[in-house]
Structure 1
Amino acid sequence: MLRAFVTALLLTLFAAQPALAAERVKDIGRFQGIRSNQLTGYGIVVGLPGSGDDNLEYTVQSMKGVTARFGFQLPPGINPSLKNSAVVMITAELPAFAKPGQRIDITVSSMGRAKSLRGGSLILTPLLGADGQIYAMAQGNLAVGGLGAEGADGSKIVVNVPSTGRIPDGATVERAVETGFATAPTLTFNLARADFTTAQRVAAVINGRFGTMRARAIDAVSVSVSAPPGADVRTMLMSDIENLTVDSAEAAARVIVNARTGTVVINSAVRVSPAAVTHGKLTVRIDEAQRVIQPAPFSQGETAVEQQSAIGVEEEVKPMFLLDPGPKLADVVKAVNAIGASPADLVAILEALKEAGALKAELVIL
């Protein structure tokens, strides 16, 4: 009885608070364990038109390792010129629930002095996960978007990045990653942005749809959902939860300033206490000129040059403006635009308001 009362009270409180437009649960987070995994591999690209690594030591060692797989051993002391080969790193994303036999895209990047991978073919290479196990095998012809050309006099031109390419469907999945979602004691939904209010609202919406206390907010990110075991049952439950709509809580008041580009972003929650602001610009200008002085005819004088300096001070007068109590974003922008402040000037005004305690927001400098 007490739990039902608490749930009803939370629903009432959250409905009374200001909120953004309703969003689907799947758009504000994801279930724990349902994620992609990174794979990497080390391999050899062959068939290059003389744009490879040449005779780099690790390229030679890698090629010897490849040929050894087929029972062929290069004679000791012989290091072949490998202008048509290049040592590469292969990276890929293994999607959640990927099954053996499925194919995934891979990216191939040169590690050595190869000028271009255009026209090359990747030799069969295992792709490893963070645990050192093989999860996919990669092989195929590269698609390279960049190109490069070099003249006899040393001049060259490069378009995009010819030392990196992709192979669509270039790897075959050999092992599935166990997610544990079918056997875990509970399902955990994690928000993309930590917020206690949003977490409570997600739990309240799930309880309103599936029954009281089915879900509970663990912290500002995670919502624990009780679910019966079984992949089929949990798949249906997770699908229903993802398509529920929830009113996300309004973000904390924040002003973001990019000091390198002068970009200023102010969210709608920013408020300003009563404050008077004036903004002016003082310019000191010094002009230098030279005047030639000629002596009188038949005199003993000499021609001379006289320096003339003109110093002036200009002060751009701009009126002081008053920020009324609790103005919203539109009022702040309108007041600042009224005095013609540049982005750099706006940053200075915001910093001064923050220091004076009038800006009710977090000021973030990037």
Structure 2
Amino acid sequence: MRLKDLGRFLGRRDNMLVGYGIVTGLAGSGDSPRNQATRQAMANMFSQFDLTVPQDQIQSRNVAMVLITATLPPTANMGDKIDVNVTSTGDARSLAGGTLIMSPLRGPDRRTYALAQGPVAVGGYSFNANGNLRQKNHPTVGIVSSGGTVEYPVRSELSADDGYLTFVLKNPDSMTAERVASQINHSIAPGTASSLDAETVKVRIPYARAELNAYVSRIEDLSVIPDQSSRVVINERTGTVVSGGDTRISPVTISHGDIRVSVDTEFSASQPENVGIAGRGVRSLVIGNSDLAVEEGAQRIAYSFPHTTVSVLVSSLSQSHVSTRDVIAILQSIKAAGALHADIVVQ
């Protein structure tokens, strides 16, 4: 894999932006008049155009107050376009057909880095009539494609004061970090890089700072075989098992039985005769008769050969028509027995 896919240079990062605004043009699916924040936001917007409208006179359901989020890339110039996401903060039913009015997007330093405006694409709907509701996806969440305009340029500083670049791995691993440093030293020059820990690799920058971008792109294009730890990921809700093809299993014998318990209940009613003559307090009696049946199926036995992998074992169990739930239970039992040489991650 390329180093560009394994990690990043410290200092090159995305920046989060957030703001709030108003979506207008909704067909009666916006915030209700009892939403005071929406009425105050509308009054503040009108005041910017020399219109004085009291909050109690704003009763329209064609507007909705939204929060706006966006991601600013590591390098951005004035005029660059970015996508923005809008989410309803009030009781609006849908943002479909609405338009976001110009709103500032700020960073953690409270500086306005972008302005957002444009039509909102929802990708869903919500219709309600006479208590019948039809909804698709989440109509209170939308996106304004290329709706943000960068107003303040951003530059990422890669070089440090000590004259070294810092390469950070996405998945920390000591062997992978050592391989990265070795590959850089082999391709650039001996002594150029050294691994500090399982996540960080220090790279000496060239003397000509003007060639820093070409130097970084050359390093990111280098290929390294990353080392991976053996893991088996199990999702018990969906019955999904994911593992590496080379995850090893020691010789083990599996004996997995199947016991089924079923309960059948039959209800019968005792109807008294001459109910009208007997008077009040006389009613039918419902009696339930339960039948409990226990069935023990044939025992399934699977043998693993020496140096077996999880993929071979799962494939063999699937050919034997073993359910995914049983496969999960078998893998957990093998791990408990110490025969599965991998970490089990249960989601």
TM-score by length of 1: 0.79
Q: Which residue in the other structure is 2:151 paired with? A: 174
Q: 2: distance between equivalents of 1:123 and 1:281?
A: 62
Determine if contact 2:265/2:291 at 8 Å carries over to the other structure: yes
Structure 1: gaps spanning 5 or more residues: 1-22, 290-307
Q: Secondary structure at the match of 2:95?
A: coil
Pick from 52, 56, 60 the counterpart of residue 73 of structure 1.
52
Pick from 312, 330, 344 the counterpart of residue 349 of structure 1.
330
Residues 173, 358 of structure 1: alpha-carbon distance in 2 compared, 3 angstrom cutoff? same
| Deviation, structure 1 residue 188 | 1.4
Q: Which residue in the other structure is 1:124 paired with? A: 102
Do residues 196 (structure 1) and 174 (structure 2) align?
A: yes
Determine if contact 1:121/1:139 at 8 Å carries over to the other structure: yes
Question: How many residue pairs end up in the alignment?
Answer: 323
- The structure having more radius of gyration, on CA atoms, is 1
Do residues 282 (structure 1) and 250 (structure 2) align?
A: no
User: 58-67 or 311-320: which moved more?
Assistant: 311-320
Q: Percent identity?
A: 39
Q: For 1:48-59, list aligned pairs within 5 A.
A: 48-55=26-33, 56-59=35-38
| Deviation, structure 1 residue 111 | 1.3
* Backbone CA RMSD of aligned residues: 2.7
Deviations 1:123-162 (A, max 9, x none): 22110112221110112222332233333x3434233333
Residues 287, 42 of structure 1: alpha-carbon distance in 2 compared, 3 angstrom cutoff? closer
Determine if contact 2:243/2:311 at 8 Å carries over to the other structure: no
| Deviation, structure 1 residue 117 | 2.2
Q: For 1:105-116, list aligned pairs within 5 A.
A: 105-116=83-94
Determine if contact 1:182/1:229 at 8 Å carries over to the other structure: no
Deviations 1:165-221 (A, max 9, x none): 222221111112342125553211111211111111111111111111111112111
User: 316-325 or 48-57: which moved more?
Assistant: 316-325
Pick from 135, 159, 165 the counterpart of residue 136 of structure 2.
159
Q: 1: distance between equivalents of 2:119 and 2:105?
A: 17
Q: Which residue in the other structure is 1:358 paired with? A: 339
Q: 2: distance between equivalents of 1:78 and 1:310?
A: 67
Q: Which residue in the other structure is 1:64 paired with? A: 43
Structure 2: gaps spanning 5 or more residues: 267-288
| Deviation, structure 1 residue 70 | 2.8
Q: Which residue in the other structure is 1:90 paired with? A: 68
TM-score by length of 2: 0.83
The letter for the 1-side match of 2:344 is L
Determine if contact 1:121/1:142 at 8 Å carries over to the other structure: yes
